[in-house]
């Protein structure tokens, strides 16, 4: 079968012939892959700055944002059945007995760093025709979400952030009685940095949660991302074009920032604007460049004197995948067109290397595996 693979040693990215996987354990399930999303991490892997092939392999099959269809189930698999659509999680636990997060089913909080990630670190990914994995890593998607379910994985980042946020907000006792379950109904002013898929999906989650949401990005409006922001009831701000009124409205009044750019300079500039008792959530992973100057005294003063919290978040739990599938359904009901507009293009696996090595435009680009070309399973 074909697969898109990265060869770090020879610095190549190409479509290869890869062995078809077979069910070898009772709880395993075999999938025919349908959609695989491309993201910044894939680009970094293809720039040979990130990513590790499985032990003994000179290449890594990439792809971690996925949607597949179940075509075969092992005798002990009971949660999924043939024909189900599923999204498979990315991270697998490390083997160390002392890693309490991994031993408790939360490899997203692994402390040893010896976790693996499908399509990223030590395990082949999903940009191929067939995949076998344990059913415990698979999450069933309702059939009506077929066209948009590949957006589940990038939304899990916001779901994990929201989980953390809810727990952190318990530190503010006067809010607790008002928000027993989630942030719904609480009028929070939130700023999303970045209008790529992670930022826009995060904005959708915040708006569904009742937050007054601003999305800040480089590109001037109108553009496809700003259209989505306006259509879902957010406010789009572009670089250098933030009106004085908006600046006044935001300065010191931002309750939550959801960073989704990986641009450290921007993150630290906006951190200065954070209000009292507020939170700054960092999700972007910058490539390591020369150190930059930051206003360290001001930032530290603010963090202490305003009881602020800055936290980073990566990957997601199994619960977060279920929450993301549920929220994709909510977004689909509320903004069917805007949700669909996040997927700007679909390409064949053969086009993937060119896209990953060049400059990809659009919001979310998806590789669609054409089953007509699948010969054998």
Q: Which runs of consecutive H residues, i.e. helices, occur in 60-182?
A: 100-103, 152-169, 173-176
Cβ-contact 257, 190 below 8 angstroms: yes
Compute the least distance from the CB of residue 261 to ligand BGC, in Å. Answer: 14
Compute the least distance from the CB of residue 285 to ligand BGC, in Å. Answer: 7
- Closest to ligand BGC by CB, 153 or 159: 153
Contacts to ligand BGC by CB under 6 A:
39, 41, 64, 90-91, 117, 120, 153, 314-315
- Closest to ligand BGC by CB, 198 or 237: 198
Compute the least distance from the CB of residue 89 to ligand BGC, in Å. Answer: 8
Compute the least distance from the CB of residue 258 to ligand BGC, in Å. Answer: 15
Compute the least distance from the CB of residue 363 to ligand BGC, in Å. Answer: 16
- Closest to ligand BGC by CB, 39 or 127: 39
Rg (CA), the chain: 21
Compute the least distance from the CB of residue 336 to ligand BGC, in Å. Answer: 25
CA 129 vs. chain centroid, Å, equals 22
- Closest to ligand BGC by CB, 39 or 257: 39
- Closest to ligand BGC by CB, 123 or 135: 123
* Burial profile 357-374: b = 16 or more Cβ within 10 angstroms, e = fewer: eeebebbbbbbbbeeeee
Compute the least distance from the CB of residue 198 to ligand BGC, in Å. Answer: 9
Give me 253's structure tokens.
């009044």
Taking CB positions, which residue lies at the least distance from ligand BGC?
Answer: 41
**Number of continuous H segments (helices) and E segments (strands) in the chain:** 12, 19
* Burial profile 18-48: b = 16 or more Cβ within 10 angstroms, e = fewer: beebebeeebbbbbbbbbbbbbbbbbbbbee
- Closest to ligand BGC by CB, 21 or 125: 125
Give me 149's structure tokens.
């379910």
- Enumerate the β-bridge partners of residue 134: 28
Residue 102: C-alpha distances to residues 59, 91, 107, 133, 247 (Å): 26, 10, 4, 18, 43
Nearest to 119 by CA among 92, 140, 99: 92
- Closest to ligand BGC by CB, 120 or 266: 120
């Amino acid at each position: 079968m074909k697969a898109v693979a990265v060869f770090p040693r020879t610095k190549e990215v190409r479509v290869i012939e890869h062995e078809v996987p077979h069910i070898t354990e009772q709880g395993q399930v075999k999938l025919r892959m349908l959609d695989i999303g491309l993201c910044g991490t894939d680009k970094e892997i293809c720039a040979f700055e990130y990513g590790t092939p499985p032990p003994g392999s000179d290449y890594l099959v990439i792809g971690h944002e996925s949607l597949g269809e179940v075509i075969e189930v092992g005798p002990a698999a009971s949660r999924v059945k043939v024909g189900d659509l599923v999204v498979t999680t990315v991270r697998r636990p490390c083997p160390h007995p002392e890693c309490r997060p991994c031993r408790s089913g939360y490899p997203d909080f692994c402390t040893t760093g010896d976790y693996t990630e499908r399509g990223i670190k030590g395990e082949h990914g999903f940009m191929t025709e067939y995949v076998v994995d344990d059913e415990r890593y698979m999450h069933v998607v309702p059939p009506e979400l077929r066209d948009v379910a590949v957006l589940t994985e990038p939304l899990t980042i916001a779901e994990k952030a929201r989980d953390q946020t809810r727990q952190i907000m318990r530190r503010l006792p006067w809010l607790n009685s008002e928000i027993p379950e989630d942030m719904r109904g609480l009028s929070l002013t939130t700023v999303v940095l970045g209008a790529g898929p992670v930022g826009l999906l995060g904005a959708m989650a915040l708006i569904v949660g009742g937050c007054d949401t601003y999305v800040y990005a480089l590109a001037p409006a109108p553009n496809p991302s700003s259209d989505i922001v306006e259509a879902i009831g957010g406010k789009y701000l572009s670089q250098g074009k933030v009106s004085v009124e908006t600046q006044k409205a935001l300065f010191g009044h931002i309750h939550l920032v959801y960073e989704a750019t990986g641009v450290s300079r921007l993150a630290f500039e906006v951190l200065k604007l954070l209000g009292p008792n507020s939170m700054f959530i960092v999700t972007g992973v910058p490539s390591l460049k020369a150190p930059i100057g930051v206003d360290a005294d001001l930032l530290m003063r603010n963090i202490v004197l305003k009881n602020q919290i800055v936290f980073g978040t990566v990957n997601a739990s199994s619960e977060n995948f279920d929450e993301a599938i549920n929220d994709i359904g909510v977004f689909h009901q509320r903004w069917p067109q805007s949700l669909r507009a996040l997927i700007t293009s679909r390409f064949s696996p053969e086009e993937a290397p060119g896209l990953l090595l060049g400059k990809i435009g659009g919001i979310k680009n998806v590789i669609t595996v054409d089953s007509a070309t699948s010969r054998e399973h």
